[in-house]
Amino acid sequence: MDVNTKQLKKNAFRVTKERGIAASRVRVPGGRMDAKYLSVLQDIAETYGNGTIHLTLRQGFEIPGIPFEDMDKVNAMLQPVIEGMGINQEEKGKGYSASGTRNIMACVGNSICPYGNYDTTAFARKVEKEIFPNDLHFKVCFTGCHNDCAKVRMHDFGIIGMTMPQLDPNRCISCGACIKRCKKKSVGALQAMNFRPVRNEETCLGCGECVLACPNAAWTRSQKKYYKLTIFGRTGKKNPRLGVDWIKWIDEESIIKIIKNTYAYVEKYIDPNAPGGKEHIGYIVDRTGFEEFKKWALKDVTLPEIAEVTSPIYWNGIKYK
């Protein structure tokens, strides 16, 4: 069977080590799906695959053992899953039309975890609707707090949840629990003054540990959601490195705009000879300089007044020659 393997990969099938056999990759934006779709994946695996399903590191599924000639049938079976998760699709029944922009990852967020400062799944799905499908190689990851269970610093864009803690002095009983918790589990941004906790605005991470520690609900999370945006973490053979902090106390709208702006930047500067048409964004920034990226990324972006932008940005990582 003659197969265009480039088109196969774009359709979110993986070429495997076994000749004529593919693996179907299933997107799960935000890492959460209705349980009813699991039976669809089971049917695909048992009907066209080898009866197994792999949980991918990007929180999706991979169904191996699919003969090339059955890929269209698998795409047809995936249709209710794609529609059920609200994933943009160019043509119904044809599966995914791109795989370059990877499945968007997220920790469980504040719908489950007490440390979560926002609904990570909802934000991940919102960004999915904005940027998928696209062939460019983007990795985006969301985590609810600075514990960073999702390891966002391994991605091109990492979004860490922050809260602006609010103190009601009338409820504070001066027990010092928040100060002890902040010192023990965070960065020690609180100290006692006149029998009340005082927050150091420069060092505070907005992690919310003070809110969790307070026995009398004197500390509460702000209604307004804030985030820390980290950029250009990556794995790989050539120069793996951790993402670095770029903008602290940024809002949701600005993050979405920056990510979308970066697609235009990459389209302009990507190496035309990049293998498979894919190049980590950080390598492109290495060529153009950070200020050029910044100019594109912040175009028409109005950051919140409290946003703190780190400049200049320095990174290095492990380099192999």
Q: Which residue has the tokens 């991940």?
A: 124
Cis, peptide link before residue 133, omega less than 30° from 0:
yes
How high is the pLDDT of residue 292?
Answer: 97
Q: Report the mean per-residue pLDDT for the chain.
A: 96
Please give the residue that has the higher pLDDT: either 36 or 236: 36
Instruction: Tell me the C-alpha to C-alpha distance, in Å, between residue 59 and each of 16, 29, 135, 195, 221.
Output: 20, 8, 19, 46, 29
Q: Are 199 and 190 in contact (CB under 8 A)?
A: yes
Per-residue pLDDT of 248-278, as tens digits, reads 999 999 999 999 999 999 999 999 999 888 8
Task: Copy the structure tokens of residue 59.
Answer: 């929180």
How high is the pLDDT of residue 1?
Answer: 67
Band of pLDDT at residue 136, cut at 50, 70 and 90? very high
What's this model's pTM, rounded to 2 decimal places?
A: 0.95
Per-residue pLDDT of 201-221, as tens digits, reads 999 999 999 999 999 999 999
Please give the residue that has the higher pLDDT: either 13 or 237: 13
Instruction: Tell me the C-alpha to C-alpha distance, in Å, between residue 192 and each of 129, 160, 181, 200, 211.
Output: 46, 28, 13, 11, 16
Band of pLDDT at residue 320, cut at 50, 70 and 90? confident
Q: Which residue has the tokens 């960065």?
A: 187
Share of the chain above pLDDT 70, in %: 100
Q: Which residue has the tokens 């991605």?
A: 155
39 — phi, psi (to 5°)?
Answer: -65, -30
> Length of the chain in residues, anyone?
321
The domains located in the chain, with CATH, are 5-85 (3.30.70.3340), 105-162+225-309 (3.30.413.10), 165-221 (3.30.70.20)
pLDDT exceeds cutoff 70 at 121: yes
